[in-house]
Amino acid sequence: MRATVLSGPFDIHLDAVPEPDLREDTDAIVRVVAACVCGSDLWRYRGLSPVDGPTRMGHEFIGVVERTGSRVSTVTPGDFVVAPFTFSDGTCALCRLGVHTSCVNGGGWGGRDRQGHLADGAQGELIRVPWADGTLMPTPGEPPEELYPHLLALSDVFCTGHHAAVSAGVTAGSTVAVVGDGAVGLSAILAAGRMHADRIIAMSRHPDRQQLAREFGATDVVAERGKDGAARVHEIAGGIGADYVLECVGTGDAMDQAMRSARPGGRIGFVGLPHDVTLRPNVMFGLNIGVAGGVAPVRHYLSEFIDRVWEGSLRPGAVFDQTFPLDEVDAAYRAMHERRSVKAFLRV
Amino acid sequence: MRATVLSGPFDIHLDAVPEPDLREDTDAIVRVVAACVCGSDLWRYRGLSPVDGPTRMGHEFIGVVERTGSRVSTVTPGDFVVAPFTFSDGTCALCRLGVHTSCVNGGGWGGRDRQGHLADGAQGELIRVPWADGTLMPTPGEPPEELYPHLLALSDVFCTGHHAAVSAGVTAGSTVAVVGDGAVGLSAILAAGRMHADRIIAMSRHPDRQQLAREFGATDVVAERGKDGAARVHEIAGGIGADYVLECVGTGDAMDQAMRSARPGGRIGFVGLPHDVTLRPNVMFGLNIGVAGGVAPVRHYLSEFIDRVWEGSLRPGAVFDQTFPLDEVDAAYRAMHERRSVKAFLRV
């Protein structure tokens, strides 16, 4: 079969690789219908995060179950499924608490599972899914192709934006500022609206993304950054700053922007993998600004959101602004890297 | 009148100072009935935090209103009052949100108010209270002396422990670990119990404090520190760590202890003024551990807790294990410094 491999900075290609097989009786094999490129993939693509030799890429996918191990009971061959960007057994104490990303048997696509087997990357034709019962979530039926982007967005990006809002504890009637206008930031705007925030301030300098931000529910757009940006947020937010700030980038500048934009007593939800982020405990202490967030436990949120997508009340797939066939995965990465695409959809 | 002045490390004394007078028509003059020494006073007493010349000390007091300015309407001469450890106007946007410690007109005892007038320290005979309406909370009547310690504990220490629990978001049925067995840590134990935590783990090495911790509701005591202490907390907390950790010290070691003791998805409430505390965003991110807290907005909590003390259902004053007359304020500081006293009560 063919799968996406990153061999070094900007060296991404579709390789012929062995087909995956069931390794454990809790595994499933899924034929990938669609995958996508994540902002977090770009750190390694750009050489900003190290890769340890040729690496299978991709951690977001929807697909159809082909085969299941003998102990898999919640999905069967032919089921259409959405996968979270991490796998999890679904039964350990942390899964039961909704922190599937800290599952004692969990792991990430493209890495190794606890048994030492390769967990394939998602940007390929087939994928072995460890702990299929605890990982995959079937849809209510065979979805029309029109729903693919909305379902695929649940695999990571929408649930990650939602996790920022949940981690911050967004409440009805509040003012929320969102730092980052990538797919996660846009998703966080949509999530804050679903949680009935009153004012949603998108921090964005790109007209096309500002437009999408407004479509997703932003009531205000702030193009300024740094102190000027924070001053604009304060101005919009009653002169005191935003009740909640959702930090959806992961850089030190973005966290500083979030800290400056929050009001005393406010909360920051952060979901961008931190790169050179510093938190200042004395500032947090003096202003009573709390910080929570992390890697989103997508599986915890998946069931509800699949239902919402199915009934048509949630349409997070608009973050996909370009579609590529898997054959052109290199072009998809390039479009994301050059910021010509917010998020690239890969049709397998 | 006489008031406590710190002139340099370990140089604390009761000085004759001018009696305070009303400076603004929102002021009140209060005759202090009881004050106390705070763990945070010791940073300056020990020379670990700088003092800028002779400094009026003390920020916790109960007393009787002597005089009020023309615009004061909620307290009148003769009222018995509890004061928070910061003053606040009670009307600004942040006071209305319950973050009185960030009041736009607020400040701390012993410092200067916005008008540039000295705000006396609380370890003295009389004290000028800026923004009396927004700061002072009268008791339902003249309290019996037996209630003094319980009312005085509301001025800072109990509400600060409570704020740790509120900031962490302690829920019924949860497991809470408390780092720090000083008066704030002990208060946090009491607060966690009031919020119906199921297991409350006191981290303490001192038999007398362990005893008080149990009286305040601790179900378990862990004497070990560092990795061993965290391992014990994990063992008690279902093998995964505590749902909530209340960090009531303010040192880097204490925060590290808290971070190690929390479970993935857990929350740390921190109320110790941070000294050399470092937060690791990548650890917080990977484990979804949130951190919130800060300087406690006591005024926000005061009304409810005065009622609870009045009816006898809340008795936080047991943290006061030694009483000194104001004349012996130096002995009170020494007892706290040498850890012979958990918290020293000063009868004025």
State yes or no: pLDDT of B50 exceeds 90: no
Q: Please, which pLDDT band fits residue A52 given cuts at 50, 70 and 90?
A: confident
Asked if A151 and A164 sit in the same domain, the reply is no
- Rounded to 10°, the helix A252-261/A226-236 angle is 30
Interface check B288 vs A, CB under 8 A: yes
Question: How many CA atoms lie less than 13 Å away from B337 in the CB half-sphere?
Answer: 18
Compute the count of residue pairs across chains A and B with CB atoms less than 8 Å apart: 121
Asked if A305 and A202 sit in the same domain, the reply is no
Task: Tell me whether residues B274 and A285 touch, CB distance under 8 A.
Answer: yes
Task: Tell me whether residues B264 and A167 touch, CB distance under 8 A.
Answer: no
How far is A89 from A96, CA to CA, in rounded Å? 10
Do A201 and A222 contact (CB within 8 A), yes or no?
yes
B316 Cβ contact list (under 8 Å, min separation 6): B150, B153, B154, B157, B158, B187, B190, B309
Measured between CA atoms, the residue of chain A closest to residue B269 is: A290
Asked if B96 and B168 sit in the same domain, the reply is no
**CA atoms B333, B339, B341, B342: torsion sign:** positive
How far is A135 from A27, CA to CA, in rounded Å? 10
Q: From the CB of residue B75, how many other CB atoms can be counted at a distance below 10 Å? A: 20
Asked if B172 and B98 sit in the same domain, the reply is no
Task: Tell me whether residues A281 and B270 touch, CB distance under 8 A.
Answer: yes
AA letter at A161: G
Task: Tell me whether residues B281 and A277 touch, CB distance under 8 A.
Answer: yes
Asked if A151 and A92 sit in the same domain, the reply is yes
How far is A170 from A164, CA to CA, in rounded Å? 9
Task: Kindly list the residues from chain A whose CB atom is less than 8 angstroms away from the CB atom of residue B85.
Answer: none
How far is B192 from B170, CA to CA, in rounded Å? 7
Query: Would you state the pLDDT for residue B110?
Result: 87
Instruction: Identify which of A234, A238, A287 has the alpha carbon closest to the alpha carbon of residue B297.
Output: A287
Q: What share of chain B is helix, strand, coil (3-state, %, to 5)?
A: 35, 25, 40
How deeply is B312 buried, as exposed, middle or buried, from its count of CB atoms within 10 A (0-12, 13-18, 19+)? exposed
Asked if A141 and A13 sit in the same domain, the reply is yes
Interface check B291 vs A, CB under 8 A: yes
Interface check B265 vs A, CB under 8 A: yes
Strands A80-83 and A107-108: unpaired
Query: Would you state the pLDDT for residue A115?
Result: 86
Domain boundary among B293, B309, B336: B293
Query: Would you state the pLDDT for residue A244?
Result: 98
Residue B208 phi/psi, 5-degree rounding, is -70, -35
State yes or no: pLDDT of B51 exceeds 90: no
Query: Would you state the pLDDT for residue B118?
Result: 83
Task: Tell me whether residues A285 and B294 touch, CB distance under 8 A.
Answer: yes
Query: Would you state the pLDDT for residue A113?
Result: 85
B138 Cβ contact list (under 8 Å, min separation 6): B65, B74, B75, B79, B80, B81
Do A154 and A161 contact (CB within 8 A), yes or no?
no
How far is A163 from B316, CA to CA, in rounded Å? 37
A116 compared with B178, residue with greater pLDDT: B178
Query: Would you state the pLDDT for residue B116?
Result: 87
How far is A8 from A119, CA to CA, in rounded Å? 20
Lowest-confidence region among A45-49, A181-185, B76-80: A45-49
Across residues A243-259, what is the average pLDDT?
A: 97
Asked if A56 and A86 sit in the same domain, the reply is yes
State yes or no: pLDDT of B313 exceeds 90: yes
Task: Tell me whether residues B294 and A274 touch, CB distance under 8 A.
Answer: no
Measured between CA atoms, the residue of chain A closest to residue B103 is: A264
Task: Tell me whether residues B274 and A263 touch, CB distance under 8 A.
Answer: no
State yes or no: pLDDT of A289 exceeds 90: yes
Summarised one tens digit per residue, pLDDT across range B197-220 is 999 999 999 999 999 999 999 999
Summarised one tens digit per residue, pLDDT across range A70-113 is 999 999 999 999 999 999 999 999 999 999 999 999 999 988 88
CATH classification at residue B270: 3.40.50.720
Task: Tell me whether residues B274 and A281 touch, CB distance under 8 A.
Answer: yes
Across residues B189-203, what is the average pLDDT?
A: 98
Q: Which whole-number Å values give the CA distances from A170 to A166, A230, B257, in the listed order?
A: 6, 19, 29
Query: Would you state the pLDDT for residue A207?
Result: 95
Residue B274 phi/psi, 5-degree rounding, is -70, 130
Give me B10's structure tokens. 């370990």
- Which of A289, A292, A294 is the closest to B286 by Cβ? A294
CATH classification at residue A343: 3.90.180.10
Q: How far is A102 from chain B (nearest CA, A)?
A: 7
Q: From the CB of residue B163, how many other CB atoms can be counted at a distance below 10 Å? A: 29
Asked if B80 and B17 sit in the same domain, the reply is yes
Across residues B82-99, what is the average pLDDT?
A: 98
Instruction: Identify which of B194, B184, B124, B189 has the alpha carbon closest to the alpha carbon of residue B156.
Output: B184
Interface check A14 vs B, CB under 8 A: no
Task: Tell me whether residues A290 and B288 touch, CB distance under 8 A.
Answer: no
Asked if A255 and A212 sit in the same domain, the reply is yes
Give me B81's structure tokens. 């009052």
Across residues B225-245, what is the average pLDDT?
A: 98
How far is A316 from A157, CA to CA, in rounded Å? 9
Furthest CA-CA distance within chain B: 60
DSSP B299: H
DSSP H helices, chain B, are 39-45, 93-96, 132-135, 148-153, 157-168, 183-194, 207-215, 226-236, 252-261, 281-287, 298-311, 329-337
Interface check B248 vs A, CB under 8 A: no
Query: Would you state the pLDDT for residue A342?
Result: 93
Interface check A167 vs B, CB under 8 A: yes
Task: Kindly list the residues from chain B whose CB atom is less than 8 angstroms away from the CB atom of residue A289.
Answer: 292, 294
Mean pLDDT taken over chain B: 96
Q: Which whole-number Å values give the CA distances from B14 to A106, B35, B309, B320, in the listed order?
A: 63, 14, 31, 21
Give me B250's structure tokens. 């303010």
Across residues A26-34, what is the average pLDDT?
A: 98
Asked if A108 and A225 sit in the same domain, the reply is no
Task: Tell me whether residues A292 and B293 touch, CB distance under 8 A.
Answer: no
Task: Tell me whether residues A285 and B278 touch, CB distance under 8 A.
Answer: no
Parent domain of A267? 158-293
Measured between CA atoms, the residue of chain A closest to residue B297 is: A288
DSSP A186: H
Interface check A289 vs B, CB under 8 A: yes
Task: Tell me whether residues B292 and A290 touch, CB distance under 8 A.
Answer: yes
State yes or no: pLDDT of B138 exceeds 90: yes
Query: Would you state the pLDDT for residue B299?
Result: 98
Helix (H) or strand (E) holding A200: strand A199-203
Interface check B175 vs A, CB under 8 A: no
Measured between CA atoms, the residue of chain A closest to residue B294 is: A285
How far is A85 from A101, CA to CA, in rounded Å? 9
Q: How far is A265 from chain B (nearest CA, A)?
A: 6
How deeply is A73 buried, as exposed, middle or buried, from its count of CB atoms within 10 A (0-12, 13-18, 19+)? exposed
How far is A236 from A327, CA to CA, in rounded Å? 46
Instruction: Identify which of B285, B76, B122, B270 has the alpha carbon closest to the alpha carbon of residue A286.
Output: B270
Query: Would you state the pLDDT for residue A297?
Result: 98
Asked if A306 and A275 sit in the same domain, the reply is no
Domain count, chain A: 2
Furthest CA-CA distance within chain A: 60
State yes or no: pLDDT of A209 exceeds 90: yes
Helix (H) or strand (E) holding A30: strand A28-36
Asked if A29 and A74 sit in the same domain, the reply is yes
Enumerate residues 91 to 110 of chain B having a beta carbon within 8 A of any beta carbon in chain A: 93-94, 97-99, 101-102
DSSP per-residue codes, A2-22: EEEEEEETTEEEEEE-PPP--
Whole-structure pTM value:
0.96
